[in-house]
Amino acid sequence: MLAILGYAMVIVFMALIMKKKMTPFIALITIPLLFAIFGLFLKLYPNHIGGWALKGLESVSVTGVMLLFAIIFFALMLDAGLFDPVTAFVIKLAKGDPVKILVGTAVVAAMVSLNGDGTTTTLICCSAFIPIYKKLDLKMMNLGVLIILQNTIMNLLPWGGPTARAISVLKINESAVLRAVAPGMVISVIYMLFVAAYLGRKERKRLGITNLSAEELNEMTVVKDPKTLDLRRPKMIWPNTILTLGLVGLLVSGLVPSVVLFIIGTAIALLLNYPSSKMQRERLNEHAGDAVQVIILIFAAGIFMGLLTGTGMANAIAQSIGAIIPASLGKFWGLVVAIISAPGVFFLSNDAFYFGVLPVLAETGYQYGFTAQQMGVASLMGQAFHLLSPLVAFIYLLLRLTGLDMGEWQKESGKWALGIFAIFIVVTIATGGVPLMINK
C-alpha cells in the first residue's frame, strides 16, 4: 500500500508540474503533505510528519545556504564585468554564427562539468553565455538543454554523486568503474556536439546568416547602459579572475566546504569591487530576490524528500521495483538493471535509489552470475535522465537563470537524453563493461 501511495504521489506531482497546474514551489510542499496526511488516515505509519519534514529541510539546508552565496557571488562577478571578455571572445570568434556559439556552449559546459558540481557548472555557463544568447536572440532553451546534458554525462566521473554512491554501496573499485563508463561518456560528449551543431543550424535558419563586420561585432560587445557601466570594474578584472579561479579550484579539490568558500568569496568580492557600505547594501538587495526564488524551491524539495522518505514510501517504491521483474529475465539482469535505473533515478533521489534499490537489484544479480562491478556500472546508465528530475535541487537555479518552464525544458531535454541513454547502454555492453547476458 505504501508503494502505491508513493507512486500515486509522484505521478500526481509530475502531472501537475507538466500541465502547469501548480508552481513547483507549491506542488513540492502541498502534494507530499496531502498524501502523507492521507496515509495517516489509513494508519500506514505513526504521525511524525513535522519531524520528517524538518529532517528533509536539514538535509538541504547546507545546499540552500551555499546556493544563496553562490548566486550572489557570480552575480557580483557579472556586475563587475568579469565575463565581458569571454562574451566578446565568443561573439567575435563565432562572428554571429549560431552553430559556432552552440557548439562552443557544449564544449564549455563539458569542460566546466569536470568538477562534478551542477550548481557551479550552471552558474559559470549561464554567467558567460546568457549575455551572448540575449545579444544574438538565440533560444534560451538550447542553453538549458546543452548545459544539463553535458553535466549529465560528466556526472558519471568517480567524484560525481551517483558514481560515488554506487562505489560505496557495492564496495567496488573506482578506477575500474571509470574504465567501464569512460567510452560511453566520450561518445556521448561527441554526440552532444552534433546535437549542438544541429540546434545551431536550426537557429541559423530561423535568424538567418549574418556576416557581421568588425565594427558590428565590437558594437555587440560594448556596454552602453549607464547603470550597468557604473557597476563595471575593468581595473579589477585580474583580481576578480584570480578570486574566481581560486574559488573554483578549491571547489574541485574539496579542501574547503563549498558553502564556506562562497560565503568568504562573496565577502571578498564585495570588498574588492564595491568597498562602500552603501554600494554593498545595494548589490545585496539587488541580487537577494533572485537568490531567494531559487532557495525556496530547494527547501521545498527538502520537505518533499523528507516526507517521501520518512513515511516509508521511498523504501516501498524501492522494494517494489526489485520485486516486479520476472525471473526469466535473470540472464539479462545487467540490461534489466540499466533500464530500471532510468525511472529509478528520475522518480527517486540518488540516495534513495543507490542506497535503497541498488542493493536489492545487486543481490538478485549475484544469483544470476553478475558481479558487483557489473551491477554498479549498469545502475549508472539511467543517469542520462536523473538531472531532469524535479528532485534535483540545482535545476531550479538553471530554470530561474534561463527563464525556462520546467515542463517544456524536460520535454526538450528528454528527447536528446534518450540518445545519451542508448549510447551509454550500447557502448558499455559493446566494450564489456556490462555483459548483455550470462548463461548460468
H/E element holding 69?
helix 49-80
**Whether residues 252 and 337 fall in one domain:** no
Average pLDDT, the chain: 86
Residue 159 has pLDDT above 70, yes or no: no
Which range among 129-138, 267-276, 384-393, 423-432 shows the weakest confidence by mean pLDDT? 129-138
Name the band, by pLDDT with cuts 50, 70 and 90, for residue 282.
very high
137: left (phi over 0), alpha (psi -120 to 50) or beta: left
Q: Is residue 440 part of a domain?
A: no
Q: Is residue 246 part of a domain?
A: yes
Residue 322 has pLDDT above 80, yes or no: no
* Cell matching residue 76: 557580483
**Whether residues 369 and 269 fall in one domain:** no
Q: What is the largest CA-CA distance in the chain?
A: 74
Residue 402 has pLDDT above 80, yes or no: yes
* Cell matching residue 357: 534499490
Q: Is residue 106 part of a domain?
A: yes
pLDDT score recorded for residue 256 = 85
**Whether residues 333 and 354 fall in one domain:** yes
Which of 263, 293, 323 is the C-terminal boundary of a domain?
A: 293
Which of 245, 266, 293 is the C-terminal boundary of a domain?
A: 293
List the domain range (segments joined by +) for residue 75: 59-293
Task: Calculate mean pLDDT across residues 210-229.
Answer: 70
The count of domains in the chain is: 2
Q: Is residue 344 part of a domain?
A: yes
**Whether residues 311 and 421 fall in one domain:** yes
Whole-model pTM: value is: 0.70
* Cell matching residue 81: 564585468
Name the band, by pLDDT with cuts 50, 70 and 90, for residue 221.
low
**Whether residues 12 and 123 fall in one domain:** no
DSSP H helices, 324-440, are 333-347, 350-352, 358-367, 372-379, 383-386, 395-402, 406-430
Q: Is residue 265 part of a domain?
A: yes
Name the band, by pLDDT with cuts 50, 70 and 90, for residue 173.
confident
**Whether residues 39 and 184 fall in one domain:** no
For 92-153, give the DSSP string.
HHHTT-HHHHHHHHHHHHHHHGGG--HHHHHHHHHHHHHHHHHHHT--HHHHHHHHHHHHHH
Question: Which letter does DSSP use for residue 225 in this model?
Answer: -
Q: Is residue 140 within 8 Å of residue 326, measured between CB atoms?
A: no
**Whether residues 95 and 206 fall in one domain:** yes
Name the band, by pLDDT with cuts 50, 70 and 90, for residue 361.
confident
pLDDT score recorded for residue 279 = 93
**Whether residues 287 and 309 fall in one domain:** no
**Whether residues 78 and 39 fall in one domain:** no
Which range among 103-117, 253-267, 316-330 shows the weakest confidence by mean pLDDT? 316-330
Q: Is residue 53 part of a domain?
A: no
Query: What percent of the chain shows pLDDT beyond 90?
Result: 39
Nearest Cα residue to 181 out of 148, 204, 159 = 159
Burial of 1 (0-12, 13-18, 19+ CB in 10 A): exposed
pLDDT score recorded for residue 330 = 79
Task: Calculate mean pLDDT across residues 16-24.
Answer: 78
Nearest Cα residue to 435 out of 295, 336, 315 = 336
Which of 241, 273, 293 is the C-terminal boundary of a domain?
A: 293
**Whether residues 100 and 160 fall in one domain:** yes
**Whether residues 79 and 216 fall in one domain:** yes
Q: Is residue 8 within 8 Å of residue 35, measured between CB atoms?
A: yes
172 in helix, strand or coil?
coil
Q: Quick one: CA dihedral 382, 385, 391, 394, positive or negative? A: positive
Q: Is residue 54 part of a domain?
A: no
**Whether residues 93 and 226 fall in one domain:** yes
